[in-house]
Amino acid sequence: MKRHRRSIIVVALVLMAAPLLYAVISFAARPMPRPSWLEPARPNTTCILPAGVVRYEHMQHLKSLRDHVLRDGQREELAGARAQGLGSCRGCHAHRELFCDRCHDRASVRLDCFGCHVY
């Protein structure tokens, strides 16, 4: 028992650190409050999804859309009245620095899109 005293202390510390770690991670991953100002959308338009939904799910939508367009060659979602895609976002939200970047900078989520795509 005495020989393993150091290991027991280490294991105990790790076990005690686990709930602390859980608390820290939960705090870090908490829903982010809105930034104080976002560029308003173009008047008399509605988004393709309700605002609350699109705010938290736009990444999944854009990801599945890009695979659908590029990998499957299906472009029907890019056209029509409820067109999806970065290009159609820009139709209502004109400037990424005043709209996309406001939240993304606050949440420290780096965007990979605009390195290649023009907004």
Partner 1 sequence: MERRKFLKTGALVGAGAAGAYGLPLLTSLRASAGNALAPAAKCRWGMVIDLTKCPPNCTACVDACKRENNVGSTGDRLRDIYRIRKVTIESTLVAGAAPKAVPLLCNHCDEPPCALVCPIKATYKREDGIVIVDPHRCMGCRYCVIACPYNARHFNFRENEQRPNPAFPRRQHGVAESCDLCAHLLDQGKQPACVAACEDVQAKALCVGNLNDPASEIAALIRNHSVKRLREDLGTEPKVFYIGL
Residue ranges in 36-75 that form contacts with partner 1 under rule CB under 8 A? 66-67, 69-75
Reading the block at residue 96, the tokens are 């990424």
Reading the block at residue 117, the tokens are 């795509």
In sequence order, the 6+-apart residues with CB closer than 8 A to the CB of 11 are none
Looking at the Cβ atoms of 67 and 105, the one nearer to partner 1 is 67
Reading the block at residue 90, the tokens are 């820009």
Q: Find the shortest distance in angstroms from Cβ 72 to partner 1.
A: 8
Total residues interacting with partner 1, rule: CB under 8 A = 14
Looking at the Cβ atoms of 51 and 72, the one nearer to partner 1 is 72
- By CB under 8 A, is residue 118 in contact with partner 1? yes
Among 75, 87, 76, CA closest to 113: 87
Residues that bind partner 1 (CB under 8 A): 66-67, 69-75, 112, 115-118
